[in-house]
Structure 1
């Protein structure tokens, strides 16, 4: 895998709904090397304000075009939402270790299950594109119907999609991890792939252990350098502390301690 610092031309930067955005840029080298679960670290403004880059998951790749899916919630991502088509983005990527999906592609008698909480849909959509021929099952969870993301996009890939909302406004009423337990009682799972809030990932890890199904978890942490130098994003594992940006963001559930 080759990581580069480059300047890439913005093709589009569109508001999808509320404060959710799709940004697409052109970079042949990043498109060629990107793997599901990896991210790019972007200088979001035109200068050095804000100083730190922002890590954004790679959502999709098509030819030399790379698409990102992000939520404009703070100073950095709000600055990113103001960037225009034709401008150049200063970015570093692809960064991090992604999902190992080799067995998922070959699966015949069992299904891969993708579990997304909130913005966790971003890296999982790229993964779903890679393994769509195996017809993965996608579980998407949110607090309420308005916060369900990318349902139609996953369906267009041919994925089976099931939804869970805390308030029952759409789909299963309850946590997406409760839906996962229900699904595993009806479906033979080959492996679990998940991204979302830490409490959700902890529960996915427990369920994978209970059902003896391997799970790969993409952790959401605040990152600074994005390259492993500053040690600001370490998490505890059974073999010591590891860097989310460099050793992750994807880890086997067996590695992590909660």
Structure 2
């Protein structure tokens, strides 16, 4: 977990937005990395991350009061639900949904999956923010041994009137979007993509999104036009 305090007056984020972060003075890695914010309060912004490469190793090596370069908040936001809703998270994807739990007037039923228990961070804190948390792991080390889509499918069968908010791996989000489409449920996904600039200039994170004028899909930037999209408009790979 990383908590930063902007050195200058800053605009604070709303649920669904993200930041581009880079630690250290070197240019290796050259580009900033996108991170969903976990929370923003008392003048500070907190991020939840997992060490995966050079960029996150540099962040993990930071000491208290060292500086970090960041740009944000960036992107659009989740439409905040006015009542109860369903949230589906995969591993570290919980970070994108965390702030939504506090912003919504209704409470969420959360389906949260990971390969192992070690991928599910802050579980007790998260449980305290939602109505119900259904945990799944591929190996059975925490919660139910299954893919997260299995208990979600069962719940959706009798709760398709509730909006669904999703963040996680692309295959998981694609599967959830398909289930919601079949059930007639409204679904919003926070897409993940490799990003270079974070502001839509480089076109390195484009995805195909359908609109009322072009059902085949037009290219949109995840960083500028997203990362949150209505799942029914996303042209998923293989479609």
Q: Distance in 2 between matches of 1:126 and 1:204?
A: 21
Q: Distance in 2 between matches of 1:170 and 1:33?
A: 34
The answer to whether 1:255 aligns with 2:228 is no
Deviation at 1:248, TM superposition (A): 0.8
Aligned position for 1:78: 57
Q: Distance in 2 between matches of 1:257 and 1:71?
A: 28
Q: Distance in 1 between matches of 2:151 and 2:196?
A: 34
Q: Distance in 2 between matches of 1:213 and 1:83?
A: 43
Instruction: Answer whether contact 1:237 1:256 (CA < 8 A) is retained.
Output: yes
Deviation at 1:33, TM superposition (A): 3.1
Q: Distance in 1 between matches of 2:130 and 2:181?
A: 28
Q: Secondary structure at the match of 1:182?
A: helix
Instruction: Answer whether contact 1:57 1:68 (CA < 8 A) is retained.
Output: yes
Instruction: Answer whether contact 1:223 1:245 (CA < 8 A) is retained.
Output: yes
Deviating above 4 A after TM superposition, structure 1's stretches of 4 or more consecutive aligned residues are: none
Aligned position for 1:112: 85
Aligned position for 2:95: 122
Unaligned residue ranges in structure 1 (runs of 5+) = 1-21
Q: Distance in 1 between matches of 2:139 and 2:22?
A: 37
Deviation at 1:168, TM superposition (A): 2.7
Alignment partner for residue 155 of structure 1, among 127, 132, 135?
127
Q: Distance in 1 between matches of 2:90 and 2:168?
A: 4
Query: Which runs of structure 2 are paired with 1:1-258 in the superposition (5 Å)?
Result: 22-27=1-6, 29-30=9-10, 32-101=11-80, 104=81, 106-107=82-83, 111-131=84-104, 133-187=105-159, 189-238=161-210, 239-258=217-236
- Aligned-pair Cα RMSD in Å: 1.6
Deviations 1:167-211 (A, max 9, x none): 233222211111111112344542000001111011111111111
Judged with a 3 Å threshold, the aligned counterparts in structure 2 of structure 1 residues 88 and 169 are, in CA distance, closer, same or farther, namely closer
Q: Distance in 2 between matches of 1:256 and 1:185?
A: 22
Q: Secondary structure at the match of 1:254?
A: helix
Deviation at 1:63, TM superposition (A): 2.2
Judged with a 3 Å threshold, the aligned counterparts in structure 2 of structure 1 residues 245 and 84 are, in CA distance, closer, same or farther, namely same
Q: Secondary structure at the match of 1:119?
A: helix
Q: TM-score, normalised by structure 1?
A: 0.83
Deviation at 1:149, TM superposition (A): 2.7
